[in-house]
Chains A and B, each alone.
Chain A
Amino acid sequence: MSPRFTLDPFIEQYAHRTSSMLSSEIRDLLAVTARPDIISLAGGLPFTQAFDPEVILRSVRRVLADDYAAALQYGPTDGFAPLKHNLVEVMREEGTSCFPEDIMITNGAQQGLEMIAKTFINPGDHIIVEAPSYVGALNSFLSYQPRIHTVPMDEHGLLPERLRELLRELTAHGEQVKFIYTIPNFQNPAGITLSTERRLQLIEAARDYDCLIVEDNPYGLLRFEGTACPTLRSLAEERVIYLGTLSKIFSAGMRIGWIAAPHPILNKLLLAKQSADLCTSSFTQRVAHIYFSEEDWRGQVQRLLDIYRARCHAMLGSMDEHLSGLAEWTRPQGGFFLWAFLPQFIKTSEMLASAIEMKVAYVPGSGFFPYEGGENCMRLNYSYADNEMAEEGIKRLAKVIKREVSLAKALGLDKKGSSLSIRLDNG
């Protein structure tokens, strides 16, 4: 008998939950997009170059001068108390009231998602998400093996009647929904904001069927147009688990997010965090505390808004010019992303290789759905590329799509449902 080689000899020993963590073709293609010759509209990075390094340095110096021993030390699991006061202020900026003791600081909001999944999801449990939804949340949830149901959206956010329908159906089968996950402001990936009316309807449905709402709000303060809607937490504190982050208004590198939730839930989440990492960095929490106490952080957010507004407009302008008739897209009033729909017969995951050949990249839509959907969609990011790059990127994208459409027609693939999709759930 020949010796047998398995590239990963431990394959039989992994937990079942790792089966949802396969390496993907899309990920491997996107790995190439870091190349300098490619204009990547695929990222999701805040434009940290907009910060003055002197300002940050001032905060870091202060921490080391005043408090270096504690900054180098472990800290409390629920977070550095003085920073919680700053976070309360950040939330008040959006009209959300909160007390420091309602808050647990996490290692980015992503850890909050993981803690929530770990604390609430048993294998087979039912949860509801918007379609499309944030891929990082989906991955956190999926590794705890729930059944994920999706609610489609239109330009005002998730469709409340579809949500009710789903809840009714599940209840009729004796199933309880653990939570509804939503990104109400400038949703990642769709760039859509849930209207105030729909927020109220969502809360009403959650009350009627007694489920929790997980409100993920990374982009709330990044509104560069229109009027803000009240946060879900401010409308229904008792049933909302709120996730905030400093990643978009200060630094993603500091890894500071937080959860505001009813106290019994907070206590459970605290245990989950304790076993995960004991505490969030004492050092970066102190830097953030000084920054949000001493510096003009509101002025800095305004500067960021000016940049993101200009970039969003530049990209929308280029899209109007080069993509009209080839695609349709959402028009965000804040945040980082917009969502484009191509004709039904185009598969954006397949088209990505051609796009990379043309030196432009995007994220294919299918990754933002837990099981299937979004095959003809893509997410485009405008926060990082400057106006000229965005214009060039969109021009290249138009070429790629034109070629794809003509190839699909030549192959007779355009026959079934050739109209553009206007509903976000039509994959």
Chain B
Amino acid sequence: MRIGVLMGGRSLERDISLRSGRRVCNALLELGYNVLELDVDESLVPTLKRERPDLVYIALHGKFGEDGTVQELLEILDIPYTGPGVFASTMGFNKALSKEIFMHEGIATPPFFVLSEATFQEMGAVHALPAAAEKLGFPLVVKPAAQGSALGVNFASSIEVLPLAVQSALHYDERVLLEKYVSGTEVAASILGNQELQALPLVETVPRSEFFDFDARYTPGLTEYYCPARLDEQTTAAAVDAALRTHRALGCLNVSRVDIIIDGEGVPQVLELNISPGMTETSLLPMAAEAAGLDFKGLVHRLVNLALEKSS
């Protein structure tokens, strides 16, 4: 069987995607598959039409790779692919929309507001910031509504720095999400499966710096991880339950990673869902799989089988 691996592309997370993709390619080769490496550019669709791979493994991160764009193209071309479909990708990548769905489904998520650049440019929304901040309460996490990594994410602890944080987020997306900062234990729940879902052991993230910012995320050693997370049984069960509900609420298939903060009351607050979790040597999904006794090769094999099962 021939598997095309989509990687690289033109998003800001190109480098991380290439690292994920190369590892996946190696694993696929070891598993005996015929592998076609595809760096995403203008020639993607002609290449796919010519080569007709039996399956596409999506190792893209960020815009176009996990926002439903590439998924839609693959649907049109009738090529099965790994990971969730168009709807789940579109919703998952848009943190504002997915939070609306969480609330609708009764999944706890920190309170938030979403403002577009146009509201600032054309409606004077800067004057609404004090009221928004008062309703949510400082500190706030200010992030681009749609952006895969920690780029453009800032913390605002007072009204003075809030406009700067908003500006920073608007460099990455036309909408900015103002979210109440919830302090607590950060965990990532990775879910595998189509009909029958398997929750992998939770990975607890402990940033050495105060916040999990860009440097903390990408400088090895600035963050520590515990897997399984150091939570009691009841809290673990609640977090896993929240993750499973989130995965289902967005109609995910194959795989997802749900990022959660356990608040002071022990309630899992869902921050976001990621449909194309990193597969680098330092990524959380492979770490969780490892803790469940599934090595990297096994994980890739599982994802391929889930994708084939989904398409049949």
**Which of chain A's residues have a CB closer than 8 A to the CB of B125?**
410
Q: Which among A3, A31, A356 has the highest number of chain B CB atoms within 10 Å?
A: A3
Q: B152, B215, B224, B282: which contacts A4 (Cβ < 8 A)?
A: B224
- A-facing mask of B205-248, CB < 8 A → 1, else 0? 00000000011001111011111111000000000000000000
Contact with B along A15-56 (1 / 0, CB 8 A): 000000011110011011001110000000000000000000
CB of A353 within 8 A of CB of B152, answer: yes
Please state if A412 and B152 are interface contacts (CB–CB under 8 Å). Answer: no
Cα separation A292 to B154 with both chains bound (whole Å) = 54
The answer to whether A410 and B152 have CB atoms under 8 Å apart is: no
| A356 vs B126: C-alpha distance when bound (angstroms) | 26
Which stretch, B21-29, B65-73, B166-174, B188-196, touches the partner chain A?
Answer: B166-174
Q: Are A356 and B12 in contact (CB under 8 A)?
A: yes
* Residue A351 lies at the interface, judged by CB distance under 8 Å to chain B: yes
Determine whether the beta carbon of B168 is less than 8 Å from that of A350. yes
Nearest Cβ in chain A — how far from B44, in angstroms?
Answer: 14
A28 contacts B15, C-beta separation under 8 Å: yes
Q: Does A70 contact B (CB under 8 A)?
A: no
Contact between chains at A413 and B215 (CB < 8 Å):
no
CB contact between A31 and one of B14, B120, B124, B164 (< 8 Å): that residue = B14
Residue from A37, A353, A406 with most neighbouring chain B CB atoms (10 Å): A353
Interchain CB contact under 8 A, B282 and A7? yes
Which chain B residues lie closer than 8 Å to A7 at the CB level?
Answer: 220-221, 223, 225, 282
Contact partner of B15 (CB less than 8 A), chosen from A10, A31, A352, A413, is: A31
Q: Are the CB atoms of A411 and B166 closer together than 8 Å? A: yes
The reply to whether A413 and B164 form a contact with Cβ atoms under 8 Å apart is yes
Does chain A have a CB within 8 A of B204? yes
Give the number of residues in A that approach B within 8 Å (Cβ atoms): 35
* CB < 8 Å neighbour of B204 from A2, A22, A29, A36: A2
Instruction: Tell me, yes or no, whether A354 is within 8 Å of chain B by CB.
Output: yes
- Asked if A326 is at the interface of the complex by the 8 Å CB criterion, the answer is no
Q: Is the CB of B121 closer than 8 A to any CB of chain A?
A: yes
Q: Closest residue to A2 on the B side, CB-wise?
A: B226
Interface size on B, residues (CB 8 A): 39
CB <8 Å contact, A6 and B224: yes
Q: Flag if B167 contacts A411 (CB, 8 Å).
A: yes
Closest CB in chain A relative to B238 CB, distance in Å:
18
Decide if B215 touches A22 in the complex (CB within 8 Å). yes
Q: In the complex, which of the residues B120, B125, B171, B172 has the most CB atoms of chain A within 10 Å of its own CB atom? A: B171
Contact status B223-A411, CB under 8 Å: no
A31 to B223, CA, bound (A): 23
Chain B proximity of A417: nearest CB distance (Å): 15
Taking CB atoms, residues of chain B closer than 8 Å to A413 are 163-164, 167
Q: Which residue from B215, B224, B225, B287 sits with its C-beta under 8 Å from A23?
A: B215
For A10, the chain B residues whose CB sits under 8 A away are: 221
Which residues of the other chain, A, contact B120 by a CB distance below 8 angstroms? 407, 410-411
**Is B167 touching A353 in the complex (CB atoms < 8 A)?**
no
Chain B, 72-95, contact with A by CB distance < 8 Å: what is the 0/1 string?
000000000000000000000000
Is B310 close to A, CB under 8 A?
A: no
List of B residues within 8 angstroms of A24 by Cβ: 215
Answer whether residue B151 sits at the interface, using C-beta atoms and an 8 A cutoff. Answer: yes
Q: Is the CB of A11 within 8 A of B221?
A: yes
By a CB distance below 8 angstroms, the chain B residues around A410 are: 120-121, 124-126
Residues from chain B with a CB closer than 8 A to the CB of A353 are 12, 151-152, 171-172
Which residues from chain A sit less than 8 Å from chain B, CB to CB?
1-8, 10-11, 22-25, 28-29, 31-32, 35-37, 350-354, 356-357, 406-408, 410-413
Contacts A5-B226, A28-B214 given; 4 further ones with Cβ under 8 A? Answer: A8-B221, A11-B220, A32-B14, A353-B12
